[in-house]
DNA sequence: TTGTATGATGTAAGCGCTTACATTTTTCTC
DNA sequence: GAGAAAAATGTAAGCGCTTACATCATACAA
């Protein structure tokens, strides 16, 4: 493999000039630039990116830590990150945190040990406090899909409260008044926010909140099914149910059908995330779209802007939108 | 950040000894090792992995090129790769190829430009010829989910023919004899193999293959729906349909229902891949499991073994298995 | 004792770049 | 056309490691 040294010799210039020709063309005369380019071409020269990193003390790579890559939205997220980063010639280093506190910490260490210039973190187990403590450490990071008080400027997140609001508002507008709700684990920020949005929607329509129509779920299909069964057997009637994510909605649908009820004639169902699966449920699920790809892009842009000084408009907060499909209808009577 | 130099000074030994203490303990006396470790501890020394890469001419990172990360099985695949690679301290560099020939080529160049020690390729657009031409280039690679004649030893793949066989055999065993088939694009190796398996199953049960029951699809939901509609309107009766992947099966289900037929009572449906969506279809889809995670792990092991000399058992070919769910039943009459 | 393996450690030359600073060349001003 | 500013180029010192080779210490055999 040709090195910069050979190029400089062939072009009849110094090392420094070749380096400048690559990194800062403005500081090289046109004639020289042409000579250098020709020499590079002739030798099929490819700069050694590792050597560049060492000399420049910048690795041009950013680490991405994702909780579970096979989850419904991480693929989309990673895809957005990759697109944006690659367009600027930055490498994406990938690692998984498995929603486990120790593994997430270890993942960060691992990525950091490769001298990443920045980190994009999609993590669930590490506490806000931990992140706040490390906010000023040498490797800068953005947190994606999570809102941390005290470091909002390092967060790219979804307006979950608004999403929760929109989901319920849609049902209210259809005419529903008895609306059940299955939340995510309430200790998670997004679950709490979605739930808060639900209550705000009820309030704004003057509907009294009924504690008997709410169950705390776990964001999994099983939890959705169990919660729905419980609500159904409670005796408290309802004509619609909002689930704090699509997987629980899938479970809810099964549970509803298992009771011999039909969707949406007897009960309307709304999910959250617009995960791929939501399009395949029967009937297709009305849900709240999670702009994961765009959020991924934005996290990448944040890094490009804040770490590499590349011009970019940063949008921290994303507004989710309702996707109307077939699992909802006006209440039957 | 402390460097190896400071460690050597504090420990009262030379640079070389510290380096050896890190890389090849056997060549350092116990006493010295202890001193070095103590010094490292005291300085909170972390080796600079970039410098190591440059000096050792090995980057300890492997590039992974995936066609579409948000597709149904790539997440699982990447997850397996990451798990295996990280366990050996190797970094995973990620890039996307978007199933486009030029982008895949560019993705390989991009990854290679970071001096990856090896590449794991999940690509669709680049031709066998291209890969064969580059098989002996400086950066070794494995191809995942694809079987290339002439370089089988660099391929980790699924026995698609067997999968196709199993899918149809299952229906035959249930008693079906009129079995429709929607293939993937026949120019793709896996689509052709699945189709071949289907025909072999028919043969082995002495069922005459009927060209009127086969449609070439595109691996997408729409294609599955359109193909099924066509078959249904053909007039040629059938009691079961095999789709060469789950997305087409989803489309097929919609088309079948649109004709007022029921699944599985009127028509049984079998998919292929066991993608997450298959569990959410209604009724839940009987399908062929694609062991993507294990194949990812295996591709990583291939690299660990062939590039880094780490002991590992390599299995090139994976056998898919049938997952029985609710979309299939014996023919009604 | 001397000689010779053997093992432990040190010396120093890179790996292929970037970049501060020095030097040379060009351009501009009057 | 002299002098100064600006632009282009060169020199050389690293960046933080690995590793071939040299050196030194120790153990053991004859």
Nearest nt (C1') from B2 Cα: D16
Using the structure, give the distance in angstroms from the CA atom of B14 to the C1' atom of D28, rounded to a whole number. 28
- Chain A partners within 8 Å of B54 (Cβ): 48, 50-51, 54
| φ, ψ dihedrals at B330, nearest 5° | -60, 155
Q: Closest partner residue to B51 among A47, A54, A281, by Cβ?
A: A54
- pLDDT over threshold 80, residue B94: yes
| φ, ψ dihedrals at B260, nearest 5° | 80, 15
- pLDDT over threshold 90, residue B118: yes
pLDDT in tens, A212-244: 999 999 999 999 999 999 999 998 999 999 999
Who contacts A149 (Cβ-Cβ below 8 Å, separation ≥6)? A128
Distance CA A98, CA A69 (A): 9
Strand order in the sheet with B155-158: A317-318, A155-158, A141-144, A118-121, A61-66, A91-96, B91-96, B61-66, B118-121, B141-144, B155-158, B317-318
- pLDDT over threshold 90, residue B167: yes
- Chain B partners within 8 Å of A86 (Cβ): 95-96, 110
Which residues of A make CB contacts under 8 Å with B? 1, 46-51, 53-54, 59, 61, 64, 68-72, 74-76, 78-79, 82-83, 86, 91-96, 110, 113-115, 138, 250, 253, 276-277, 280-282, 293
pLDDT tens track, chain A, 333 positions: 889 999 999 999 999 999 999 998 777 899 999 999 999 999 999 999 999 999 999 999 999 999 877 777 888 999 999 999 999 999 999 999 988 999 999 999 999 999 999 999 999 899 999 999 998 888 999 999 999 999 999 999 999 999 999 999 999 999 999 999 999 999 988 999 999 999 999 999 999 999 999 999 999 999 999 999 999 999 899 999 999 999 999 999 999 999 999 999 999 999 999 999 999 999 999 999 999 999 999 999 999 999 999 999 999 999 999 999 999 999 986
pTM above 0.85, yes or no: yes
Residue nearest to nucleotide C14 (CA to C1'): B55
Who contacts A106 (Cβ-Cβ below 8 Å, separation ≥6)? none
Distance CA B235, CA B212 (A): 10
* Band (B13; pLDDT cuts 50, 70, 90): very high
**Per-residue pLDDT, A161:** 98
Vertex B229 angle, CA B228 and B233, to 5°:
115
Nearest nt (C1') from B16 Cα: C10
Q: Please, what is the end-to-end C-alpha distance for chain B in angstroms? A: 77
- Residue B270, classified by CB atoms within 10 Å of its CB into exposed (0-12), middle (13-18) or buried (19+), is buried
CB atoms within 10 A of CB B210: 14
A141 has which bridge partners?
Answer: A119
**Per-residue pLDDT, A135:** 86
- pLDDT over threshold 70, residue B25: yes
pLDDT in tens, B226-248: 999 999 999 899 999 999 999 99
Q: Closest partner residue to B93 among A72, A91, A250, by Cβ?
A: A91
**Mutation target among A50, A82, A113 for the B interface, most CBs of B within 10 A:** A50
- pLDDT over threshold 70, residue B333: no
- Chain A partners within 8 Å of B92 (Cβ): 93-95
> Chain A residue closest to B277 (CA)?
A277
Do residue A69 and residue B48 have CB atoms under 8 angstroms apart?
A: no
> Chain A residue closest to B46 (CA)?
A113
pLDDT in tens, B303-317: 999 999 999 999 999
**Per-residue pLDDT, A208:** 93
Reading the block at residue B225, the tokens are: 């729906």
For range B181-190, the mean pLDDT: 94
Do residue A71 and residue B75 have CB atoms under 8 angstroms apart?
A: yes
Q: Closest partner residue to A74 among B75, B83, B280, by Cβ?
A: B75
> Chain A residue closest to B69 (CA)?
A75
* Band (B191; pLDDT cuts 50, 70, 90): very high
Query: How much of chain B, in percent, has pLDDT values that exceed 70?
Result: 99
Residue B3 Ramachandran class (φ > 0 left, ψ -120 to 50 alpha, else beta): beta
CA dihedral B260, B262, B268, B272 (to 10 degrees): 80
**Per-residue pLDDT, A333:** 65
Alpha helices, H only, chain B: 4-11, 15-23, 30-43, 49-56, 74-87, 101-112, 128-133, 160-174, 189-204, 221-234, 246-258, 292-306
Question: Do the beta carbons of residue A324 and residue A268 sit within 8 Å?
Answer: no
Do residue B83 and residue A96 have CB atoms under 8 angstroms apart?
A: yes
Lowest mean pLDDT among A310-319, B133-142, B240-249, B262-271: B133-142
Do residue A50 and residue B54 have CB atoms under 8 angstroms apart?
A: yes
Which residues of B make CB contacts under 8 Å with A? 1, 46, 48-51, 53-54, 59, 61, 64, 68-72, 74-76, 78-79, 82-83, 86, 91-96, 110, 113-115, 138, 250, 253, 276-277, 280-282, 293
Q: Closest partner residue to B50 among A64, A92, A115, by Cβ?
A: A115
CB proximity B25–strand D (7 Å threshold): no
Work out the mean pLDDT of chain B and round it to a whole number. 94
Report, in ranges, which bases of strand C sit under 7 Å from a protein C-beta: 7-20
- Chain A partners within 8 Å of B281 (Cβ): 280-282
> Chain B residue closest to A85 (CA)?
B95
Q: Closest partner residue to A75 among B48, B75, B82, by Cβ?
A: B75
- How close, in Å, is residue A167 to chain B by CA atoms? 21
For range B278-296, the mean pLDDT: 96
| φ, ψ dihedrals at A183, nearest 5° | -90, 175
pLDDT in tens, A9-59: 999 999 999 999 999 877 789 999 999 999 999 999 999 999 999 999 999
CB atoms within 10 A of CB B196: 14
Distance CA B180, CA A12 (A): 70
């Amino acid at each position: 493999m040709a090195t910069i040294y050979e190029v400089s010799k062939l072009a009849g210039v110094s090392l420094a000039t070749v380096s400048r020709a690559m990194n800062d063309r403005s500081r090289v005369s046109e004639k020289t630039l042409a000579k250098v380019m020709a020499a590079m071409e002739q030798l099929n020269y490819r700069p050694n990116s590792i050597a560049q990193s060492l000399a420049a003390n910048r690795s041009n790579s950013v680490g991405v830590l994702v909780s579970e890559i096979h989850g419904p939205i991480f693929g989309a997220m990673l895809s957005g990150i990759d697109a944006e980063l690659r367009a600027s010639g930055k490498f994406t280093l990938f690692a998984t945190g498995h929603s486990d506190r120790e593994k997430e910490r270890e993942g960060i260490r691992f990525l950091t040990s490769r001298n990443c210039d920045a980190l994009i973190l999609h993590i669930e187990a590490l506490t806000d406090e931990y992140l706040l403590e490390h906010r000023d450490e040498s490797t800068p990071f953005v947190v994606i899909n999570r809102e941390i008080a005290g470091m909002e400027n390092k967060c790219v997140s979804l307006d979950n409260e608004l999403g929760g609001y929109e989901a319920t508002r849609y049902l209210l507008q259809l005419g529903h008044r008895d609306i059940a709700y299955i939340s995510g684990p309430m200790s998670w920020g997004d679950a709490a926010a979605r739930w808060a949005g639900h209550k705000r929607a009820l309030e704004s329509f003057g509907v009294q909140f009924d504690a008997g129509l709410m169950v705390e779920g776990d964001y999994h299909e099983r939890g959705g099914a169990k919660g729905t069964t419980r609500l159904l057997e409670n005796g408290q009637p309802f004509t619609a149910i909002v689930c704090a994510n699509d997987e629980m909605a899938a479970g809810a649908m099964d549970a509803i059908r298992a009771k011999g009820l039909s969707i949406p004639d007897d009960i309307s169902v709304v999910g959250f995330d617009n995960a791929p699966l939501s399009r395949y449920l029967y009937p297709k699920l009305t849900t709240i779209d999670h702009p994961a790809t765009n959020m991924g892009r934005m996290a990448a842009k944040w890094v490009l802007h804040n770490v590499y000084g590349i011009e970019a408009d940063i949008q921290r907060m994303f507004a989710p939108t309702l996707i109307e499909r077939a699992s909802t209808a006006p209440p039957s009577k």
